[in-house]
Amino acid sequence: MSLIATHDLRLVLGGQTVLHGVNIAIDKGEIVTIVGPNGSGKSSLLRALIGALKPAGGTITRSPGLRIGYVPQKLQIDPSLPLTVEGFLNLPRRQNRAVVETALHKAGVPDLAKQQMSSLSGGQFQRVLLARALLNMPDILILDEATQGLDQPGAAAFYRQIEDVRREMGCAVLMVSHDLHVVMAASDRVLCLNGHVCCEGTPEIVADAPEYRALFGTGTQGALALYRHEHTHSHDHDHHPGDH
């Protein structure tokens, strides 16, 4: 049985149908990436999966007792709100100190507990959000454009962290991303979304699909081509040969 599945899901936002006829299923331990242009309903789909957006039609089935770890697209903390990393991780429920430390360690930022949230760098901030999502030992991690605002090496490092977490905890990962070339290489499966699921499959299959090319392909270059090109075009990143 899938961890979470939708059947003929329809989502309406502000009176407009943003998604329709969506049938997806996420299985244990797999990494699934959702790609799609702006306004294609990616974030809405994730919000529906976590329960923040009610379906206008169709159903969402979660396996009983499913634990979801959610990393939002962005989290703006008003500068008027003083908050330590530790304090943030204790919302909304106070956690055992050891649980907090373990989560920070798994997310790759073991020493930040006493820092102010406002003093973190972009990469540290995203890792703290990841740590928060890991607190309840999730069966599935859901990430909404989690690397927005990170530079390319930063994003690549973040995805490596996600892979480490998956390997260690065995959780499924469902993410939305713009970093096609980085993300697709790491995914088991890619869903291409544009109001509905327009194609899906392994990264290679999706990259070659005409629907996908129509949305993203500039001429003959799909995302994987872009990825392969990185080695010849990234003169500025010669000191990061491991970024893929």
Partner 1 sequence: MLDDFVMRAALAGIGVALAAAPLGCFVVWRRMAYFGDATSHAALLGVALALSLDLPVFAGVLVVAMAMALIVSGLSGRTVSTDALLGVMAHGALAIGLVAVSLLPNQRVDLSAYLFGEILAVTKGDLVIIWGGAAVSIALLVWRWQALLSATLNPDLATASGVNPHREQLILTVALALTVAVALKVVGALLIAALLIIPAAAARPFSRTPETMAMMAAGIGMVSTLGGLAASFAFDTPTGPSIVTVAAVIFAVSTGLAPALRR
Site residues (CB under 8 A) for partner 1?
14, 47, 50-52, 68, 70, 72, 75, 77-78, 80-84, 87-88, 90-94, 116, 132
Nearer to partner 1, 93 or 235 (CB): 93
> Minimum distance from CB of 105 to partner 1 (Å)?
21
Nearer to partner 1, 80 or 232 (CB): 80
140-144 and 172-176 as β-strands: parallel, antiparallel, unpaired? Answer: parallel
> Minimum distance from CB of 4 to partner 1 (Å)?
13
What token pair was written down for 65? 């007792």
Phi, psi (5° rounding) for residue 178? -100, -20
Q: With beta carbons less than 8 A apart as the criterion, state whether 41 and 191 touch.
A: no
Separation CA 125–CA 131 (nearest Å): 10
> Minimum distance from CB of 81 to partner 1 (Å)?
4
- The letter for the amino acid at 9 is L
What is the total residue count of the chain? 244
Nearer to partner 1, 48 or 209 (CB): 48
> Minimum distance from CB of 80 to partner 1 (Å)?
5
4-13 and 16-22 as β-strands: parallel, antiparallel, unpaired? Answer: antiparallel
> Minimum distance from CB of 201 to partner 1 (Å)?
28
Nearer to partner 1, 15 or 242 (CB): 15
Nearer to partner 1, 82 or 210 (CB): 82
Helix (H) or strand (E) holding 226: helix 223-233
